[in-house]
Structures are given as C-alpha cells and as structure tokens.
Amino acid sequence: MNILSIDSSTRNLSVAVSRDEKLLSEAVDRSGMKHMVRVMGLLDSALSKAGLSLGDIDAFGVNLGPGDFTGTRIGVSVIKMLSWLEGKPAFGINSLDAFALGIGIKNISLIIRFLSRNTPVLIMPCLDVRKGEVYFAFYSISTGACGERKYMAKIKVEKRTYVIRREGKRFLVPGRGLKEVLEGLFTGEVLKIPEAKDEYHSPVMIIGGSCWEGYGKILGYIIRQNKGFYLDRKNIYPHAGYLNICAYFNKIREVEPKNLVPVYIREFVPFGRQKKNSRQQPVG
C-alpha cells in the first residue's frame, strides 16, 4: 500500500511517501509559513524520490491539527483535492496522534526497557495551542495482541510488536496549571485518566510535543518532581512520515474515511475577541 501525507500544521512543512509502514521519501521545508507556495513542489519532490507517480498512491493522510489555522487548511485542501482526483481514501490525523507515534518511535529503546520490567509506560504529547492553554492526551504502549480494543498504530522492533492506544479523553487546560492538573489525576501512585478503562500504578511517563518551547520551565519542574517522568525535547514538530503510519493502520483497521475538517479547539471570533463561554471542548 503506497501512502502520501502532508503535514502543514506548523511552520515546518513536510510531505512523505511510504509503502505500508516503511518510509520511502520525505521532503521538508523549514523556511517558514510559505506553505501555499511550497507544498506542490515538495509533493513532486517526495514522489520523485520514492520513484512513484500520483497514480501509484493508494491512500492519503493529512494532519488535521490543532495547529496553525491557515497552514492546516492548506494541507487539508490539497489532500482533499488529490483524494477526489485519484478516487482514493484520505485519512485525517489528529496532531496528538502524530506526536504520540513520533515520541514512541524515537524513545522505543527506553520504552522496551521498562516494559521488560512489567512497568506500565504512557506517552503524553502536549501541544502549545496559544491563549495560555495546552492540549494533551495519554497514550499507552504495550506488547501483545490488540484484542478487541481500538488501537492507533503499532511499532515493530525485530520480532516484537508494540501497540499504541489513546487512553481516555483529550485535555485542554491552562498551561501554567499543567502541574496541578497532572497531580489531580493521581491518587497516591495510581494514575486515573478520565474515561479510560484502566488505571496505571507508578507508570513511566514520556512527555513531548510543541509545549516544550513555551512551557519548558514548567515541564522541567514536573520531570524533576516525578520519578519515572521523562521529557522528549526533540519531537517539537510533527512529520508527515508519522501521518503515513497512522493512515496505514486506519486502512488496516478499515476505518471509514470521514470529511476532512481541521480540529479547532476554540470558536473563531473576528477581531481576536473571545466571547464568554465560547471555548469548544476537544473531542474525546
């Protein structure tokens, strides 16, 4: 299965082509918010490097955000057009899912070490969504069969498969209150995530995402005060290659492609003024 994805949700624009879970090529532009000008050139470059044409693509993926308002809409519009032209499915991926997979892949050696000791491991992608707020969720990673529970993606290392699932709801909270919010989810050493089926005793927590840039001091304090918490400072920007993997497993799980609608966590109000009670809660 050949997959092409676009991530235009941040100032880094990337286009990737994969075959199943294997990345064939990726083209990245870090010059800033010139996505409308650059996106088609990067698309051609990624296809050329992979030795494929647009007609060879079996499915598309795109980052739905939350992210930059204009940038995200550009990627969504291009993928909608390509999906319609080629008659192939397109999957929208939440930014948190893309970050969770990236954090899992980049830290898999650490994760394997703790799982081998029967220590539960959680990934916590955390995004700076402006207005003094952060958006985050928890993802478990474990070995073994998926069973009947919904999973997001898998990471294969040698002969073992590691399954990533989102656990419970997504959170939108004041950034400066992140420490207190996390503390409130713990009862002693047990983490209880709202709407999650399981509880986690003394879990290892790997935190990453764009939140690091604006809330580095707060995250650093959280890491120092909590044994078993780790900070991934490298996964600040999402990559289209991770979207390809998420899209691949959506296709494998026979997820029905839906209308590609960018994820906005607040209502848009003209002139930058926020109406009372206008904040939208993230989709759980």
Q: Which pair of structure tokens corresponds to residue 113?
A: 């070490």
Does the pLDDT at position 167 exceed 80? yes
- Dihedral angle, C-alpha 191, 127, 236, 19, nearest 10 °: 80
pLDDT in tens, 236-253: 888 999 999 999 999 999
Domain that holds residue 104: 96-231
Of 183, 211, 231, which residue sits at a domain end? Answer: 231
Alpha-carbon span 197 to 108, nearest angstrom: 24
pLDDT in tens, 223-282: 999 989 999 988 788 899 999 999 999 999 999 998 899 998 875 444 444 444 434 344
282 part of a folded domain: no
Alpha-carbon span 179 to 122, nearest angstrom: 17
- pLDDT of 148 reads 53
pLDDT in tens, 78-116: 999 999 999 999 999 999 999 999 999 999 999 999 999
Same domain, 172 and 213: yes
Same domain, 208 and 134: yes
Same domain, 204 and 160: yes
> What pLDDT band is residue 145 in, cutting at 50, 70 and 90?
low
Alpha-carbon span 110 to 205, nearest angstrom: 11
283 part of a folded domain: no
